[in-house]
Amino acid sequence: MGAAVLSLFATCGVASGAAGRGHDANPLRAQFRVGAAVVGINPKVTVYSGGFGASPPITPGSVIGPQLSVRAMYISNGREAIALELVDAQAEFAAYQEGPQYGITAARNAAAAAIDARHYGPRMSAGDIIVQATHSHSAPTLEGLWGPVPVAYLKAVTDAERTALIQAASRAEPATLRFGTADASALDLVQAAQYDGFPGWADDPLLTVLQAVNPATGATIATYATVPAHGDIVNGARIRHLTTDYFGLVHAALQRQLGGIAIVGPGTLGREETPVQATDIAEDRVFAANVLNLVDRALAAARPVTSDRLAAAGEMVQIPGTGAALLALVAANHFPVRQKQQVQSALEYPIDRRDTPPYQTGAAVGTWLTALRIGNIAYLSMPGEPFPEVRRTLAIAAPGATVVALSKGQDDLGYFYPSYVTPFTEIYPSDTFTNSASAVAGDAVIGGQERNLSAIGFATRHRAFAPVPVEPVQALDAGLQVIGGPFVAVAGADGKARVRMIATYAPPDLPSATTADGLPVGGFDYKENPSGKVHWSFGATSGYHNFSGSDLEPYIVTHRFTAGVHHVTARILDADGNPVTTSFTVRVFPHERGPIWQRS
């Protein structure tokens, strides 16, 4: 592995001690059949943007950037087949009050039946498929909450999900797989305080990439990446437009780099806020470039999948519903339209998740949990936004697996976390308690997915909840954060690499903000303004840029670096005149060495 790679990597064969099935066609590079497909879902009716408060009506033709789409990847070893699918939406439910023909479960059932009927490969069931949403906060809501869900659009999305899965299976061709990971810690809010961030609490850094190539031609068939960062950079409700957020920008760039079809979706999402939430298109482009940089580094570190083992397991878990507000909004969806509008004016728009068994029985909420195995990689559906402790606990419970959390997968129950984290959701400025269907959902998901991991052949051990490292003092300090570093880049023909960085500052969060604004959500009005300008040291050169006295608007900084390693420091004075600093590196390779993703 070359020095350009500043990422982690996993070897994806059968783990020692794991129960095996069958044998590898090639001991060094397992043989598969892989297909991929894309179906567009730009709305043809008026929709509402999900994620940032009540949305105004957004009319057809309002999509900026890459089109909204459903993207599917089908993988078969000739004996079993699985599929992964991603939809550009704030989230999607397993089933809807509008009828059993809508939603993720309906799409999975219909697609599996059609693939079987057409004999595209081994028999499939709905349990062999995971469908997840991007959680873009400038994509349509398919849940209510921020505005009504047009039935015509819900039907169009469900149909597109079925179609994309069928098309992906029909296009399956010989393939080998590569898998790599990168540390994406720098994308997330860990130093500066903003809404839904817990300063000082460690994030989940796991970014993954799975690439399928044709072994005869070397052509890329599909690239599937998961990123542990919220798609809440663009505020769709504010700009009255729809976007894919950074996910679409990255998949478009990957397709230009690699060919084939690229799918970029979320990994762990709970508490994985970016320091640039609710901004605009310019910040989204810079953030996407930083994500692409990390995906390229994961590709550079990728190793062949050496086992052709595929497996799937799933179960429906019943979880006590403790989120009274969300359950009340589900019940309110049965009201006439005028009453729904009255509910929205007082609270939020009603939620149209199905409220009959098995999806809701009394106050108990039922949801599907699915685990898919590719070699020693375990893709686990997460019905909402799991906190980092969820994937961390499951990874420790199954040490032979590379565990990947697919947030907003198969359903959406809001945020969830181990029950011991619940008190902290009321301390930090956050909606993670109020927008959760159950305070014990995290425990139930961990238990269910642990059973699924065992069912797909991973040796599991008695789980113990795995707390993440916490530095509580960070909440008492101001924070300055630069998104994306450390950076790796390749110089252009002029011998320099143009690197764009986003910096954001936030004042102390606790206890000042909480005591000023009260529980449960706190605020940011205490000592908000930093003093003066940010001083940047780029190694050989330095400069300034001004925050204009506000932490609410991040600033884009551009610098051209020559080949070599550059140690960059940014510094600002807080309102009391104390310095707040952050440091990272930028490594630039000479122009003639080629793209990062081609390195090994």
Amino acid 14: pLDDT: 28
User: Which H, E and C letters describe 130-191, residue by residue?
Assistant: EEEECCCCCCECECEECCCCCHHHHHHHHHHHHHHHHHHHHCCEEEEEEEEEEECHHHCCCC
Which pLDDT band holds residue 574 (cuts at 50, 70, 90)? confident
Question: Which segments of the chain belong to CATH 2.60.40.10?
Answer: 472-598
Which pLDDT band holds residue 544 (cuts at 50, 70, 90)? very low
Cα–Cα distance measured from residue 495 to residue 443, given in angstroms and rounded to the nearest whole number = 53
* Average pLDDT score over residue span 242-269: 97
Listed residue (449, 447, 437, 443) closest to 412, CA to CA: 437
Cα–Cα distance measured from residue 127 to residue 467, given in angstroms and rounded to the nearest whole number = 30
CB 360 within 8 A of CB 389: no
Place of tokens 């509580």: 472
Query: Can you read off the two tokens belonging to residue 522?
Result: 């706190």
* DSSP SS3 for 286: helix
Which pLDDT band holds residue 553 (cuts at 50, 70, 90)? low
Q: Which residue has the higher pLDDT, 53 or 9?
A: 53
* Average pLDDT score over residue span 364-378: 97
* Average pLDDT score over residue span 474-480: 75
pLDDT score of 253 more than 70: yes
Query: Can you read off the two tokens belonging to residue 199?
Result: 């300063």
Least trusted range by pLDDT, from 178-187, 238-247, 583-592: 583-592
Amino acid 500: pLDDT: 86
Q: Which residue has the higher pLDDT, 507 or 251?
A: 251
Amino acid 117: pLDDT: 97
Neighbouring residues of 226: CB distance < 8 A, sequence distance ≥ 6: 206, 207, 208, 209, 264, 265, 266, 267, 404, 405, 406
What percent of the chain clears pLDDT 70, i.e. is strictly above it?
86
Amino acid 515: pLDDT: 39
pLDDT score of 4 more than 80: no
Query: Can you read off the two tokens belonging to residue 591?
Result: 């122009």
Place of tokens 């789980």: 463
Least trusted range by pLDDT, from 211-215, 386-390, 557-561: 557-561
pLDDT score of 162 more than 70: yes
Which pLDDT band holds residue 485 (cuts at 50, 70, 90)? low
Amino acid 596: pLDDT: 66
Which pLDDT band holds residue 190 (cuts at 50, 70, 90)? confident
What percent of the chain clears pLDDT 90, i.e. is strictly above it?
60
Amino acid 393: pLDDT: 94
Q: Which residue has the higher pLDDT, 511 or 565?
A: 565
pLDDT score of 507 more than 80: no
Q: Give 282-299 pLDDT, tens digit per residue.
A: 889 989 999 999 999 999
Whole-angstrom distance between the N-terminal and C-terminal Cα of the chain?
5
Bridge pairing between strands 579-589 and 487-490: parallel
Which pLDDT band holds residue 15 (cuts at 50, 70, 90)? very low
Amino acid 463: pLDDT: 65
* Mean per-residue pLDDT over the chain, rounded: 85
pLDDT score of 53 more than 80: yes
Q: Give 513-539 pLDDT, tens digit per residue.
A: 433 333 333 333 334 555 567 778 887
Question: Mind giving me the DSSP string for 438-467?
Answer: -TTHHHHHHHHHHHHHHHTT---------P
pLDDT score of 189 more than 70: yes
* Average pLDDT score over residue span 317-338: 93
* Average pLDDT score over residue span 380-391: 96
Fold of 472-598: Immunoglobulin-like (2.60.40)
CB 506 within 8 A of CB 488: no
pLDDT score of 76 more than 80: yes
Q: Which residue has the higher pLDDT, 529 or 171?
A: 171
pLDDT score of 310 more than 70: yes
* Average pLDDT score over residue span 454-460: 96
Q: What are phi and psi of 154, to 5 degrees?
A: -60, -40
Cα–Cα distance measured from residue 355 to residue 362, given in angstroms and rounded to the nearest whole number = 9
Burial class (CB in 10 A: 0-12, 13-18, 19+), 473: exposed
Listed residue (66, 390, 404, 425) closest to 244, CA to CA: 66
Amino acid 180: pLDDT: 97
Cα–Cα distance measured from residue 63 to residue 40, given in angstroms and rounded to the nearest whole number = 12
Which pLDDT band holds residue 540 (cuts at 50, 70, 90)? low
Least trusted range by pLDDT, from 42-46, 143-147, 540-544, 595-599: 540-544
Q: Which residue has the higher pLDDT, 291 or 16?
A: 291
* Average pLDDT score over residue span 497-518: 63
Using alpha carbons only, what angle is made at residue 109 by residues 382 and 159, rounded to the nearest 5 degrees? 90
* DSSP SS3 for 587: strand
Cα–Cα distance measured from residue 367 to residue 104, given in angstroms and rounded to the nearest whole number = 11
Q: Please tell me what DSSP assigns to residue 365.
A: E
* Average pLDDT score over residue span 415-423: 89
Amino acid 573: pLDDT: 80
* Average pLDDT score over residue span 275-288: 85
Listed residue (260, 196, 277, 271) closest to 228, CA to CA: 271
Q: Which residue has the higher pLDDT, 143 or 344?
A: 143
CB 152 within 8 A of CB 129: no
* Average pLDDT score over residue span 250-256: 97
Amino acid 92: pLDDT: 98
